[in-house]
């Protein structure tokens, strides 16, 4: 029997799907078969627009537990709705918010869920980049994937590429600052929000990190800690390179308008 969270998610999806369908943003999805039908998995995607999580969720069959930026949970109605639909909010004003987020992601993965995360965070909104470029990836997703210590855990790289997009009229950031006074993007004078008019979603073949990682306690040796940090950095680099490669391929597709075989490996 579906849980209330699943029911809220699919109700949200049924309502939002048509809104982001062919009328609002025609979207081609390539490689959806790479998302495991069951079992724990981590979907890692670039982040360019507020539409990103909704666009992917409305076009994939499986429920995705998206990691939510701290201020999203503060938005009246929408924040509550997203949490009820399985969103994982990042805690605000907490020295241990990264540890708490890792714990939430690990718990969800160990329940066999599909977790979605944008490791660029809100950086692309602070420093906009070209459609085929990404900001540096935060390491939280890699720490969570390794700390989960799940043999065979799938990390699925994905990208959203805007074939056509538009900028909404600048939104005064002061209007939103009350929701999250410490949110960096609300310190700007105004926000320029991108809206996709046509998009391409590429989902690559999953990769599997080595099993056997255990979170160190205070007794862990410096040498052991260094080796674990090396593994985290290597995983971040590996996943980012996959996402970047997907973006480059998507850019080529948008120019040719003639899709080729999905990216391998």
Cβ atoms 169, 133 nearer than 8 A: no
Element containing residue 3 per DSSP (H, E): none
Q: What is the pLDDT of residue 217?
A: 42
Task: Look up tokens 């309502």; give the residue.
Answer: 15
Q: What is the pLDDT of residue 208?
A: 87
Say how far apart CA 239 and CA 188 lie, in whole Å.
30
pLDDT digit string (tens) for 98-111? 888 899 999 999 99
Handedness of CA 265, 62, 32, 90 (dihedral sign): negative
Q: What is the pLDDT of residue 83?
A: 65
CB-based contacts of 237: which residues, under 8 Å, 6+ apart? none
Q: Tell me which of 53-67, 127-141, 201-215 is least confident.
A: 201-215
| Mean pLDDT, residues 68-96 taken together | 67
Q: What is the pLDDT of residue 54?
A: 84
**Averaging pLDDT over each range in 21-30, 87-96, 170-179, which range is the top one?**
21-30
Between these two residues, 250 and 76, which has the higher pLDDT value? 250
Q: What is the pLDDT of residue 23?
A: 64
pLDDT digit string (tens) for 151-201? 999 999 999 999 999 887 677 767 667 776 777 777 777 677 788 999 999
Main-chain dihedrals φ then ψ at residue 262, nearest 5 degrees: -60, 155
- The β-bridge relationship of strands 64-68 and 171-172 is unpaired
Is residue 222 predicted with pLDDT exceeding 50?
no
Per the prediction, the chain carries an average pLDDT of: 80
Say how far apart CA 143 and CA 41 lie, in whole Å.
14
Percent of the chain with pLDDT over 90: 40
Cβ atoms 35, 262 nearer than 8 A: no
Q: What is the pLDDT of residue 93?
A: 59
């Amino acid at each position: 029997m579906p849980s209330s969270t699943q029911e809220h998610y699919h109700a949200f999806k049924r309502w939002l799907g048509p809104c982001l369908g062919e009328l609002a943003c025609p979207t081609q999805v390539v490689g959806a078969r790479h998302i495991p039908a069951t079992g724990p998995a981590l979907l890692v995607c670039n982040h360019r627009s507020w539409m990103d999580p909704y666009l992917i969720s409305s076009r994939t069959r499986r429920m995705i537990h998206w990691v939510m930026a701290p201020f999203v949970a503060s938005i009246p109605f929408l924040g509550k709705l997203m949490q009820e639909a399985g969103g994982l909010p990042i805690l605000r004003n907490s020295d241990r918010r990264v540890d708490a987020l890792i714990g939430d992601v690990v718990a969800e993965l160990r329940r066999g869920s599909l977790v979605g995360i944008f490791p660029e965070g809100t950086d692309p909104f602070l420093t906009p980049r070209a459609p085929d470029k990404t900001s540096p990836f935060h390491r939280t997703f890699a720490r969570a994937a390794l700390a989960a210590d799940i043999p065979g855990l799938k990390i699925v790289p994905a990208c959203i590429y805007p074939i056509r997009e538009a900028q909404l009229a600048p939104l005064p950031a002061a209007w939103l600052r009350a929701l999250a006074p410490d949110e960096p993007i609300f310190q700007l004078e105004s926000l320029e929000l991108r809206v996709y008019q046509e998009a391409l979603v590429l989902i690559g073949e999953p990769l599997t990190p080595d099993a056997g990682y255990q979170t160190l306690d205070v007794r862990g040796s410096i040498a052991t800690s260094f080796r674990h940090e090396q593994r985290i950095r290597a995983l971040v680099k590996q996943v980012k390179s996959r996402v970047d490669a997907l973006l480059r391929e998507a850019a080529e597709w948008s120019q040719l308008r003639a899709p080729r075989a999905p990216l391998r490996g």
